[in-house]
Every structure is written in C-alpha cells, then in structure tokens.
Amino acid sequence: MPSASLTLDPHFTVGTVQRRLFGSFVEHLGRCVYDGIYEPGHPTADTEGFRADVIELVRELGVSAIRYPGGNFVSGFRWEDAVGPHGDRPARLDLAWHSTETNEVGLDEFAGWLDKVGSELMYAVNLGTRGVLEALDVLEYANIRSGTKLSDQRIKNGRVEPYRVKMWCLGNEMDGPWQLGHRNAEDYGKLASQTAKAMRQLDEGLELVVCGSSNANMPTFGSWEHTVLLHTYDDVDFISCHVYYEERDGDAASFLATATNMDHFIESVVATADTVRAQLNRTKRINISFDEWNVWYQQRFHAEEQITDIEQWPVAPRLLEDSYSVIDAVVVGNLLISLLKHADRVTSASLAQLVNVIAPIMTEPGGAAWRQTTFFPFAITSRLAVGEALDVKLTTGTYDTAVYGAVPLVDAVATHDAGTGRTAIFLVNRSLDAATTVSVDVSHLGPVSLLETHTLADDDIYATNTLADQDRVRVAPNESAAVADGTLTIELPAVSWTAVSLG
Ligand code: AHR
C-alpha cells in the first residue's frame, strides 16, 4: 500500500483562514433563485416565499458571504426594476441566459433571505451595460441611512436600516467576449477605477473587487490582470479569479489532479499583482477573491439547454443542473485544500453556485431539497477550518497524468485554532485504485486526541445523490484513524476526501 507523511507545527503558518473563504454565489440563472431559494407555493415556504428546507440546508452548508445577483446576468441587469411594489416590477429579457426575469426577487428580498441564512451580501454592480452612475445609485439605495432619494425609497419599500454592504464586485468577467458590454483591459481598467473612486466617495470603507480573468486559459490571462491592476491598484482590495473544472474524455486521473491547476492559477495571479505592486512602488497588497469556482460539466451544457426562440424565453428554466458524483466531491474537497493552502492571499472565495445551478443543494418544485455529494466536503471544511492555515510538510509519491504530468498522490492542508487548541487536517488520495496510509507527526501540537473523522469514498466513484435516492452518497467516520506517540495514522481509500479534527 502506498504511504505518505506530513508534519504539523502550529508555528508554521500560511495565513489566517478568513470566514469569507467559504462563500457562495446566487445568480438569477435557471432555478437558483426561482424554484430554488424562492418558491412561494412550496409547503415549507415562509411568509416571504422562501423555502425553509433550503434555508436549513444553506445554514448547514456553512456559507459565509454570498455573491449576488450575477454572473453574466448582472451585465444586463437594472437593479431598480427589482425593488418596490411587486405589481410595478417589469419583466425583462435576460440576454445572458435567454430567460425571462420577473424581478420578483431583488435586493431587498435577497438581503432579507441572507438574514435568515446568516450570510453576508457581496454585491456585484453592472459594468457591462451600465456604469458609474448606476453603481452609485445602488450603493446609495443599499448603504445610505436616509434623507436622499434612493435611501428614502428603500425605507418606503420597507427596509429602514441600511444594509451596509461591505464587499462589491466591479462587474463580472469583463474580459469574456460573451459578456454584455465586454471591454478590453485598458477600457475596463479605466471604468473600474472611475467606479471604485466614485463609490469610495460615497462610502470610504468599502472592499472592492476588480475583475480578473474568466479563467486561466483566456488568451489575455496575465496581461489582463497586469493592465487592469495598473489602472486600479490604489482603488481596489481584491482581484477576482474564476475557474470551472470537469472530467474530460474519461481521464479521471487528470481530473483528480485539478487542484494542482488551481494552485498554479492562484500563484500566477499573486505574482502578477505583486509585479504591479513593485512597478508602482506600493506597500499595500492586492488579495484574491476567488469568486467563482467549482466543477461544471460545460461540455454537457449544449444544444438541449440553448434557448433560442425569443418569443418564448422561459422563466426559471432548468439550466446547468449538474448532478455531482463522488469523484466530483473529492475534487471539490481538493479545491478547498488549494484555497486553504493560499489563505495568505486568497481571502475570499465563492463556490459557484448555491442551489440547483451547478450547486451543492438541489430542489424539486413542490418537493424535496437534498444534498449533492459536493455538499459534504464544503460543509465540513467550512465548519472545521478555523484559525491559521498551516504549511504541512508533505512527503508523498507521485503519479502520471496526461494533462498535468507527474502530480502528488496525496494532497493535504491543516488549520490550527490557538483559541480552542483544535487542529483540522484535510486530505485527498488521488489514486484511482490504491488506498494510501498517511502518518502525521502531531507531536508539536502537544497531547491531542481524535475528535472527529469524516471520509467520502465509494466503490462507485460515479455514484450521485438524486431525487429518487437522496442519500446514496454520504460521508462516514474513518475507523482506521488512531493517534499514538505523537503520530496520527490514517488510511485513505482510493479516490477519497478526508477531514480529521484533533483537540
Ligand atoms: O456560474 C455560471 C456562469 O459562469 C456565470 O454567470 C459567469 O460569471 C461564469 O462564466
């Protein structure tokens, strides 16, 4: 049986794990909002029309900040359509997803829902078809106490206290030719800088995210970040990263190594941001908001989902409803490990998305809500990863992949919370056929014992949870784990994700 080892020392820290690392994303896309979080006719719906069963699952998932309302959707969105009396709200065509937007849910309803799930709002402004003025308008509506046209309008609409939204995204994927109002880096950089400066004139304490590349394979990747940051370095706090992965051509070995690509992506964007820092002779650092990441089978999003007849763009069609398997969940768990390994610079992240649309939570109209496989690594990591991320000294064998070459068989990260004395370790075994024994030197932690172990694995790595079989895939305690003489030993099944809590 292959083996691996790691050494934990609470002094070897990478950075503090920010709660915002466990954020998510709700876009007006498909059934994420309508028939997802919001379904007034559902048996569990509350007086505002939100599904209580979904609220429960979102709480259990442990989601911190939620990015809203898009995504590609935001680049055609007029925020003011979706506030005020419902009877006055216009229906609009959503050009991004070829759907009809009813505007039944808008900023006020969504912020109310966030209070119920206990998450923070991260709001994206439209810099595709709109600009500085509209960004200022929605900021005034959301954050000014009273005494101005838009703050008084919010009060009239039923919300007296300002929302005090801290984190704002300056558009979405503006490098992508598919984006409404797509611009080159020069033009976007100037617009983002003007918008950021104006927004700060209204509210100095905002945290602003400028758009990075839509993914690291964009032809402008690297030069986009460089140019945009030359324009905006003093105006923003974060640059965004987006990435979606999928298993291609049955190559599970490469798919399991996906997190090595995320590591490289993060390190490249950090290098670019720090290059601009040196070039401009600044001391401040720009951090990463990894505000879209997930597994997404984009190759499967094709003809049957492409809505063409403009006379019949539907309301809340079933779009991007990927069903996630065990191997997908192992990859998602590994992507979380990658984010934690870079906790010094990735200080905010959003799993895209939250409900029904490439989501950890699925719902059936009038029926059940259930956990996809990817729900488990996210919920457990969000709950256990507290304190400082640790630089674990990992020794492991490698295996060959067609896409990434030789990659480590095991990947791992740990966190340590000095307040409670608890340590969490997160591990994946990427082997397709062999269990791996891992020894962890925990002697530097002082006397510790096992508090919890969770392993996600299955004989069928393509097993999924479905409406018909909602609990087919679960996590189970890892009975092989034991601590003795300052060493934790644990067996990781082939294609598995594991979390261990010590205290
Ligand atoms: O999350 C789905 C889509 O992926 C988002 O709308 C867009 O920003 C990205 O390309």
Q: Give the H or E element holding residue 142.
A: helix 132-143
pLDDT at 301: 63
Using the predicted structure, report yes or no on whether residue 263 has a pLDDT greater than 80.
yes
Please, which pLDDT band fits residue 309 given cuts at 50, 70 and 90? confident
Sign of the dihedral through C-alpha 462, 467, 471, 475: positive
Please, which pLDDT band fits residue 307 given cuts at 50, 70 and 90? confident
> Which atom of ligand 1 sits closest to the CA of residue 173?
8
Pocket test for ligand 1, best of 242, 294, 358 (most atoms within 8 A of CB): 242
The Å distance, Cα 468 to ligand 1 centre, comes to: 28
Q: Is 100 exposed, middle or buried (0-12, 13-18, 19+ CB in 10 A)?
A: middle
Quick one: 372 and 350 in the same domain?
yes
Domain with 424, as residue range(s), is 3-9+390-502
The Å distance, Cα 239 to ligand 1 centre, comes to: 16
With CA atoms as reference, report the closest residue to 437 among 389, 478, 402, 401.
478
Using the predicted structure, report yes or no on whether residue 279 has a pLDDT greater than 70.
yes
Q: How is residue 487 written in tokens?
A: 């060493």
Quick one: 472 and 328 in the same domain?
no
CATH number of the domain bearing residue 62: 3.20.20.80
pLDDT at 233: 98
Nearest CA to ligand 1 atom 2: 71
Quick one: 378 and 233 in the same domain?
yes
- At which of 328, 358, 384 does a domain end? 384
Number of helices followed by number of strands (H, E) in the chain: 10, 25
Using the predicted structure, report yes or no on whether residue 82 has a pLDDT greater than 90.
yes
The Å distance, Cα 25 to ligand 1 centre, comes to: 10
> Which atom of ligand 1 sits closest to the CA of residue 29?
6
With CA atoms as reference, report the closest residue to 358 among 13, 31, 11, 20.
31
Q: What is the pLDDT of residues 44-65, one digit of tens each?
A: 999 999 999 999 999 999 999 9
Beta pairing, strands 436-441 & 487-492: antiparallel
Q: What is the pLDDT of residues 469-492, one digit of tens each?
A: 999 999 999 999 999 999 999 999
Quick one: 447 and 375 in the same domain?
no
Number of structural domains the chain divides into: 2
The Å distance, Cα 170 to ligand 1 centre, comes to: 15
Which of 162-191 are b and which e, b meaning 16 or more Cβ less than 10 Å from the residue's Cβ?
Answer: bbebbbbbbbbbbbbeebbbebebeebbeb
With CA atoms as reference, report the closest residue to 120 among 128, 111, 108, 130.
111
pLDDT at 140: 98
Give the span between the Cα atoms of 328 and 335, in whole angstroms: 10
Q: How is residue 203 written in tokens?
A: 């509210």
Q: What is the pLDDT of residues 459-470, one digit of tens each?
A: 999 999 999 999
Quick one: 345 and 436 in the same domain?
no
| Percentage of the residues of the chain whose pLDDT score is greater than 90 | 96
Quick one: 31 and 90 in the same domain?
yes
Pocket test for ligand 1, best of 32, 244, 293, 320 (most atoms within 8 A of CB): 244
Active site residue ranges = 173, 292
- HSE at residue 477, side-chain half, CA atoms within 13 A, is 8
Q: Is 3 exposed, middle or buried (0-12, 13-18, 19+ CB in 10 A)?
A: middle
> Which atom of ligand 1 sits closest to the CA of residue 176?
10
Q: What is the pLDDT of residues 178-218, one digit of tens each?
A: 999 999 999 999 999 999 999 999 999 999 999 999 999 99
- Ligand 1 binding site (Cβ under 6 Å of any ligand atom): 27, 70-72, 172-173, 214, 292, 352-353
Quick one: 354 and 473 in the same domain?
no
Using the predicted structure, report yes or no on whether residue 231 has a pLDDT greater than 90.
yes
User: Percentages helix, strand, coil for the chain, rounded to the nearest 5?
Assistant: 30, 25, 45
Pocket test for ligand 1, best of 27, 246, 290 (most atoms within 8 A of CB): 27
Quick one: 212 and 356 in the same domain?
yes
- At which of 384, 406, 431 does a domain end? 384
Q: How is residue 247 written in tokens?
A: 């298993």
Q: Is 2 exposed, middle or buried (0-12, 13-18, 19+ CB in 10 A)?
A: middle
Sign of the dihedral through C-alpha 74, 77, 82, 83: positive
Using the predicted structure, report yes or no on whether residue 303 has a pLDDT greater than 60.
no
- At which of 359, 384, 409 does a domain end? 384
Task: Kindly state the DSSP code that residue 10 receives in the 8-state scheme.
Answer: T
Annotate 150-177 with three-state secondary structure. Answer: HHHHHHHCCCCCCCCCCEEEECCCCCCC
Quick one: 342 and 399 in the same domain?
no
Q: What is the pLDDT of residues 131-157, one digit of tens each?
A: 999 999 999 999 999 999 999 999 999
CB 344 within 8 A of CB 371: no
Q: What is the pLDDT of residues 121-130, one digit of tens each?
A: 999 999 999 9
**Rounded average pLDDT over 239-263:** 97
The Å distance, Cα 77 to ligand 1 centre, comes to: 14
CB 119 within 8 A of CB 58: yes
> Which atom of ligand 1 sits closest to the CA of residue 97?
6
Quick one: 135 and 227 in the same domain?
yes
